Amino acid sequence: MTQKREKNIYQNLSALGWTSFFQDQLENRHSDRVATARVVGVRKNSFAISDGQTEWLATAAGKLQQANRRYPVVGDWVLVTDTVIHEVLERKNRLTRGAAGGHGKLEAVPTRQQVIAANLDTVFIVCGLDRDYNLRRIERYLTLVYNCDLTPAIILTKADLQPDPEAFVQEVETIAFGVPVHLVSARDATGLVRLEETIAPGRTITMIGSSGAGKSTLLNRLYGKSVQATNATSEKVGKGTHTTTSRDLIVMPQGGMIIDNPGIREISFWDADKGVESAFPEIERLAAGCRFSDCNHAHEPGCRVLQAVANGEIAQERLDSYHKMNRELTYLAERQHKSADRMEKERWKDVALKIKSMKKNMKK
């Protein structure tokens, strides 16, 4: 490959978020037939991929279906020959949640993970200032994002529907602890300029929030024209249906990229390592002052957290929410440890059986 062509390719890819983290993975395996591309859309049986200049459809090689292989999701960097993806590069990070398990119940335990998007710089937690507004749900989203080791920003949409939208910002800030809270309206363009700064060239953002929170509308507004179908434009299809069906990565005129996700009804956790510390820093800080170092902040004497609830420093709902998520994450972590243990035991049982049959054969 000529140096000039290589430089051009690199420029196109870096506009899509390509960095040395991915480049390093290509060491020693350069082939002219293999191209690198980013997954920008997930269709039923294929993937839309782009190298920053051309976009085309590709399918995943059969071997990627194996359980221990990475299967492409939107935002992934892949190695592709013509229209076949045969490898998904290691991810810088990913947004995952638990899937399946009981329905409707928040505390239902998920049985497998669902990677929503990969290689992200910021996650927009989008919440409408209408019936969608729910402080406890924002807390849950924050916990989900922190547990995936990602950077959140909170976007409150539909500011135009409230006479005093700033009051909501103040309330959200009491649980956000330094996470930026943006107030926007797609009606009168409130807050859009400030938001644009976060969509800097090469950066990837994904939006999560319930159906109808205003994600697609916001994306269209930021883009300057309609690139994503919204509930309003597809109303004839029927109410209550999700408008966003594919998770598309859209390159914005601001230079960055936004991934619009279909509304998430159930926010089940999958990554549990981080616990709830990051999302409830004030409770963790107070907990250090409890009389017992293993205090559960339930009914123990000398509990600093319960004291704070009693004197109004911390809302009861906030503590309830803390307990609930803590229970979920602890249970999930234990279960994942157990199944990892079980897999390890089964592996050794296999090895022992193989040795036994080898010995038997040697004796013959």
Ligand X SMILES: Nc1nc2c(ncn2[C@@H]2O[C@H](COP(=O)(O)OP(=O)(O)OP(=O)(O)O)[C@@H](O)[C@H]2O)c(=O)[nH]1
Q: Residue 154, SS3?
A: strand
Q: Which range of residues in 9-17, 47-55, 228-236, 279-287 is near ligand X by CB under 6 A?
A: 228-236
Is 262 or 275 the residue whose CB approaches ligand X more closely? Answer: 262
Task: Supply the minimum distance, in Å, between the C-beta of residue 273 and ligand X.
Answer: 28
Task: Supply the minimum distance, in Å, between the C-beta of residue 197 and ligand X.
Answer: 19
DSSP tag of 71: P
Q: Which of residues 15-54 bind ligand X (CB under 6 A)?
A: none
Task: Supply the minimum distance, in Å, between the C-beta of residue 36 and ligand X.
Answer: 30
Q: Which range of residues in 1-9, 133-141, 215-223, 346-354 is near ligand X by CB under 6 A?
A: 215-223
Per CB under 5 A, the list member of 305, 309, 329, 332 interacting with Zn ion is 305
List of E strands, the chain? 35-42, 47-50, 55-60, 77-81, 84-88, 94-99, 112-118, 122-128, 152-157, 181-183, 204-208, 248-251, 257-260
Residue whose Cβ sits closest to ligand X: 263
CB burial of 346-363 (b: ≥16 within 10 Å; e: otherwise) equals: eeeeeeeeeeeeeeeeee
Is 125 or 290 the residue whose CB approaches Zn ion more closely? Answer: 290
Q: Which of residues 51-90 bind ligand X (CB under 6 A)?
A: none
Task: Report d(CA 335, CA 268) in Å as an integer.
Answer: 14
305 contact, one of Zn ion, ligand X, none, CB 5-8 Å limit per kind? Zn ion
Residues 271-300, mask of contacts with Zn ion (x by CB under 5 A): -------------------x----x-x---
Q: Which of residues 126-165 bind ligand X (CB under 6 A)?
A: 157-158, 160-161
Task: Supply the minimum distance, in Å, between the C-beta of residue 31 and ligand X.
Answer: 40
The amino acid at 98 = G
Please give the full DSSP string across 266-319, using - where no structure is assigned.
-------TTTTTTT-HHHHHHHTTSSSTT--SSS-TT-HHHHHHHTTSS-HHHH
Tokens at 116, concatenated: 């929503």
Task: Supply the minimum distance, in Å, between the C-beta of residue 184 and ligand X.
Answer: 7
- Greatest distance between any 2 Cα atoms in the chain: 88
Contacts with ligand X by CB under 6 A lie at: 157-158, 160-161, 185-187, 209, 211-217, 230-232, 242-244, 262-263
